[in-house]
Amino acid sequence: MLYFFTASEPTAYKNFNKTILKPYPIKDSLNLLEPETIEKLKLNISDKNVRMWGAKPGPSNLRNWNNLNEGDSILAYSRGEFLYYAKILCKTPKPINC
């Protein structure tokens, strides 16, 4: 499945640059994740830095979250163009403060 999200408003665009365009140093937050998630990150050499996106809870965000599967594709859109394409390696409901 292919999902897309927008990052056009100022805060979303700032977060997009902070956690997707520039990899986030996840190694300091591994203690917040489930062991299965950590293992997937290690197997894919992603236990040091990751590219990630989050969303605030809400009816449509929760529906999208529940439908999103590992291996699905995402496409990021901002300011009139598609900026980023990736595959979902894993997902976690635990918040990580960036």
Q: Which of 26, 27, 17 is nearest to 83 (CA)?
A: 17
Asked if residue 76 belongs to a domain, the reply is: yes
Assess whether pLDDT exceeds 60 at residue 98.
Answer: no
Asked if residue 44 belongs to a domain, the reply is: yes
Asked if residue 95 belongs to a domain, the reply is: no
Asked if residue 46 belongs to a domain, the reply is: yes
Asked if residue 92 belongs to a domain, the reply is: no
- Domain total for the chain? 1
| φ/ψ of residue 5, rounded to 5 | -140, 155
Q: What is the pLDDT of residues 22-33, one digit of tens each?
A: 888 888 888 888
How many C-beta atoms lie closer than 10 Å to residue 63's C-beta?
10
Q: What is the pLDDT of residues 49-95, one digit of tens each?
A: 888 887 777 888 888 888 889 999 999 999 899 999 999 988 887 66
Asked if residue 98 belongs to a domain, the reply is: no
| φ/ψ of residue 4, rounded to 5 | -130, 155
* pTM for this prediction: 0.74
pLDDT at 72: 95
pLDDT at 2: 92
